[in-house]
Structure 1
Amino acid sequence: MNTDRTNADRTNADRTDADRTRSVMLGDVEVLRAVEWQGPFLPGHQLVPGGGAELWEGNADWLAPHHWQPESGLTVLVLQTWVIRSAGRTVLVDTGVGNGRERPESPAFHHRQGDFLGPLAAVGVRPEEVDVVINTHLHADHVGWNTMEVDGEWVPTFPNAQYLLPAADDFHFGPGSGYRGGPEGRLIHQDSIAPVDRSGQLVRWEGTHRIDEHLVLESAPGHTPGSSVLRVESGGDRAVFVGDLLHSPVQVLAPSCSSCFCADPAQAATSRRRILERAADRHELVVPSHFAGAGALEVRREPGGGFGIERWAAAFA
């Protein structure tokens, strides 16, 4: 795995174009990150209930400053899109929050106005050049830039892309189930999914879905009914983009602890353990959606059935 180094713990205002163009090569597959936002979020005990204060305080020496602020008790998260260049195509993994959204249940996202197309351009991607958009699951901070408002209407941001969405999430959050995601779930589906469906660009998948010879989507339910991961394999390198199976690295140490946003915490824990077991056994680079700092890590099995952090990836540290 060939990597360049950069400092990923700064605010968006401090990031330079050089920072945003660092990449990692996994065999013939190139990976870059485009950051929409980074900063303090929920308290640790609220984000990952059941972990206990000792889980955070006992690991403060390495959780701070990238993942946790000991003085405030707040976690540090990042909203980012992973850009993958594979088999001659440009693939985006999740699309952040978006601008101008009605998100009354999520104050941080409500009527947000931020820059995303700028960071995307900084890694050399124009919207019309995107071939595939992956939504690992249908939450507000993973589908927002699927669309943008033009003349009062929501239209696909990436006009030439195929959008891949887990069928189980489309059903659960969409009209087919009466929008079981609640009022905000209805809004998310209406402004970020339905316009893509009307354009004919939406592809619903279930089980597994192969994108090309290097990329495969795999169901990993629990966080949402259709929550999924993306596996990358090229040459001797392997990675797994795990979406929101991990919100914090403390969940590597305590995989039974799901986030407060998980629809089915027990099922999410089962999926998390399965993904971590395979990652440890196959030496896969684990790439979560919201980790700041290095953004990716390798894990190892520990005695007693647990896991530890083998190393952090150098590419974005």
Structure 2
Amino acid sequence: MTNESAQSIVLGDVEIIRIVEWQGPFVPARGLVPDAAAEVWKDNEEWLAPDHWAPDGDSAVVALQSWVLRSGGRTVLVDTGVGDGRERPHSPLFHRRRDGFLGRLERAGIRPEDVDVVVNTHLHADHVGWNTRDADGEWVPTFPHARYLVPAADDFHFGPRNDYGGGRHEEDRLVYEDSVAPVHRAGLVDLWEGTHRIDDHLVLESAPGHTPGSAVLRLASGTDRAVFVGDLLHSPVQILDPAHASCFCLDPRRAAASRRRVLERAADTRELVVPAHFGGAGATEVRRAGTGFALAGWAAYAGE
């Protein structure tokens, strides 16, 4: 798997296109998943390295990526990456990036005006960045014909009034002001809670914990199933033991409960699990294994 690439797979009547912005070592492995002991990484090195763990530096390897679904005659973009030219002083990898994401979309046959629905699984910086683009010094919606589906609880939490509570950091303010508020002002945001059906094949469901409104997107078409889990999973070691939260989870205990619930259903119904940040193939099937889960095979893309 190389950086800056696109891959595709078809499930039932839905085409899935993977757009990778970047992949590489991100942070120390136990910094990303604090409760996963060193032995967990070492004992699973054979399949964790090199796509999910870099043993030499003991770093977790992640991808920055988005997923495009062609479903029911519409184009649905799931999460919009980091964005160009953002002030992200708290995140050096995200700060003032220039990565050509829109060019990668267009090379995959997707123009901004063709996108009908944008799904933000949650409102962290690396999931909303290309919601907007810079137009002569003003942030405007990148996808002018799309409805932006935003979890209401996240909007309440990260918005200026912090209605959900829990406090808001400076980096949260920056993200909301340049990547969420302009879409609100354009009248393109649909807030939702609980569940939200996009079409006959796609349904959003709340899975709180990582953030107050963190969501998953379920796909069901024919006999095929998938679940786009956003940041419920940052690393495959969390599949082995879903109690392990990432360092970015605002409510680790609640995130663990959501993660176990989603993985149980995925194992029982053979859903393809599609996390936001897995490197390598980026998506996997899972099966039950004792009190946790195990990987049952990676996604196979067209031409592979």
Superposition TM-score, scaled by structure 2 size: 0.97
| Aligned counterpart, 2:235 | 248
Q: CA deviation at 1:192?
A: 0.4
Equivalent residue letter for 2:82 = V
Match of 2:123 among 138, 144, 150: 138
Q: Measure, in 1, the Cα distance between the counterparts of 2:275 and 2:161.
A: 30
1:120 corresponds in structure 2 to: 105
Tell me if 1:191 matches 2:213: no
Structure 2: distance between partners of 1:268 and 1:237? 26
CA distances 1:27-53 after superposition (whole Å, capped 9, x unpaired): 000001111111110111100001100
Q: Secondary structure at the match of 1:230?
A: strand
Give the Cα separation in 2 of the matches to 1:114 and 1:23. 21
Counterpart residue number, 1:283: 270
> Which residues of 2 match residues 8-47 of structure 1 at below 5 A?
8=1, 10-12=2-4, 15=5, 20=6, 22-47=7-32
Rounded Cα–Cα distance in structure 2 between residues aligned with 1:311 and 1:112: 34
Once residues 306 and 257 of structure 1 are traced to their aligned partners in structure 2, the CA distance between those partners, rounded to angstroms, is 11
State which of 140, 151, 163 in structure 2 corresponds to 1:166.
151
Pairing 1:89–2:70 present: no
Distance in 1 separating the partners of 2:82 and 2:25: 16
- For 2:285, the equivalent position in structure 1 comes to 298
Deviation of 1:164 after TM superposition, in Å, equals 0.3
Of stretches 170-179 and 71-80 in structure 1, the one that deviates more from structure 2 is 170-179
Task: Please report how far the alpha carbon of residue 181 of structure 1 lies from its aligned counterpart in structure 2 after TM superposition.
Answer: 2.7
5+ residue gaps, structure 1, are 1-7
CA distance in 1, matches of 2:50, 2:144: 38
Residue type matched to 1:208 in 2?
T
Superposition pairs of residues 29-108 of structure 1, within 5 angstroms: 29-108=14-93
Q: 2:168 & 2:107 partners in 1: Cα distance?
A: 34
Correspondence for 2:217 among 209, 230, 236: 230
Check the 8 A contact 2:81/2:128 in 1, yes or no. yes
Show the counterpart of 1:153: 138
In structure 1, the partner of 2:294 is: 308
Task: Output the CA distance in 2 between the equivalents of 1:107 and 1:307.
Answer: 34
Aligned-pair distance for 1:23? 1.5
SS in 2 for 1:34: strand
How far is the alpha carbon of 1:176 from its aligned partner? 2.4
- In the alignment of these two chains, the number of paired residues is 301
> Which residue type is aligned with residue 59 of structure 2?
L
**Any stretches of 5+ residues in structure 2 without a counterpart?**
none
Counterpart-to-counterpart distance in 2, 1:250 and 1:181: 29
Write the distance in 1 (CA, Å) between the matches of 2:292 and 2:89. Answer: 39
Choose which of 169, 172, 177 in structure 1 pairs with 2:162. 177
Q: Take 2:299 and 2:96, find their aligned partners in 1: how far apart are those partners?
A: 34
Whole-angstrom CA distance in 1 between matches of 2:46 and 2:289: 20
Is residue 189 of structure 2 the alignment partner of residue 207 of structure 1? no
Secondary structure of residue in 2 paired with 1:307: strand
Q: Which amino acid aligns with 1:250?
A: V
TM-score for the superposition, normalised by structure 1: 0.93
Q: Which of 260, 265, 269 matches 1:273?
A: 260
Per-residue deviation, 1:106: 1.1
Percent of aligned positions with the same letter in both sequences? 65
Q: Residue 102 of structure 1: CA displacement?
A: 1.1
Task: State the secondary structure of the residue aligned to 1:290.
Answer: coil
CA RMSD of aligned residues (A): 1.2
Residue-by-residue CA offset, 1:65-105 (whole Å, 9 max, x unaligned): 11111111111111111000000000000000001111111
